[in-house]
Amino acid sequence: MGDTTTRRAMRADARRNRDRLLAEARTAFLDHGTDASLEDVAARAGVGVGTLYRHFPTREALLAELLRERFDALAAGARQLAAHPSPREALITWTLDFVRTTTVYRGLTAAVTATLHDPASALHASCETMRRAATALLTRAQEAGEVRADVAPLEFLALVAGASWAREQMAGAEVPGDRLLLLLFEGLGVPDFGRRSPTRSDRSP
């Protein structure tokens, strides 16, 4: 539901404008982050602002449309990873994907996070899906004893979102992308001796 071909077919001009708007919105968000000028988007699409607002009543609605596919893919990935031999690796892998997704547009992390607590937002549905996916993978890793059991799903998401946000801020700085996530999983403290449970990052000499 809410698909691109629902609701008794759109009028041809409407569909054309809608597509143009989405295309322009995408590049605008890419260039200027999630608070790019919507008037600009409309102008570039060769359309009046009214048309934009009719198709997408809110900025979130526009975002939601652009993210639907990515989010669906993420949810599918979670289902698949549920069968991964290592629950810990599964969780980490999915989390890295999640962060990559919420980082495509500058400011997206904030939008997604804010939405988690606001059922009215157009993005809320997708975010809920993400929340459930994360919860499932986290719980499994915890039951397997590979992730500390006293971490609540919301806490986990908060930390991940925080790291994701931090990554956005440090854009261009000398922080290798996934580094923050790995530190998050392993912790800042020094483990008793040497390495703990094997992780990709410490297989080399």
Per CB under 7 A, residues contacting DNA are 10-14, 16-18, 35-40, 46-51, 53-55, 57-59
**Cα–Cα distance for residue pair 124/137, rounded to 1 Å:** 20
Which H or E run contains 25?
helix 12-32
Looking at the Cβ atoms of 55 and 106, the one nearer to its own copies is: 106
Closer to its own copies at the Cβ: 12 or 190?
190
For residue 149, the tally of other CB atoms under 10 A from its CB is 9
CB closer to DNA, 34 vs 126 = 34
Pick between residue 9 and residue 190 the one whose CB is nearest to its own copies: 190
Residue span 182-201 as binding mask against its own copies, x where in contact by CB under 8 A, dash where not: -xxxxxxxxxx---xx-x--
Q: According to the binding rule CB under 8 A, does residue 152 interact with its own copies?
A: yes
Query: Which tokens belong to 15?
Result: 């569909």
Dihedral of alpha carbons 177, 122, 11, 37, sign = negative
**Contact of residue 50 among DNA, its own copies, none (CB under 5-8 Å per partner type):** DNA
Residues 6+ apart with CB under 8 A from 13: none
Q: Which two tokens stand for residue 97?
A: 């994907």
CA separation for the pair 167, 3 (Å, rounded) = 32
Contact set with its own copies (CB under 8 A)? 88, 110, 113-114, 117, 145-148, 151-152, 154-156, 158-159, 161-167, 169-170, 173-175, 179-180, 183-192, 196-197, 199
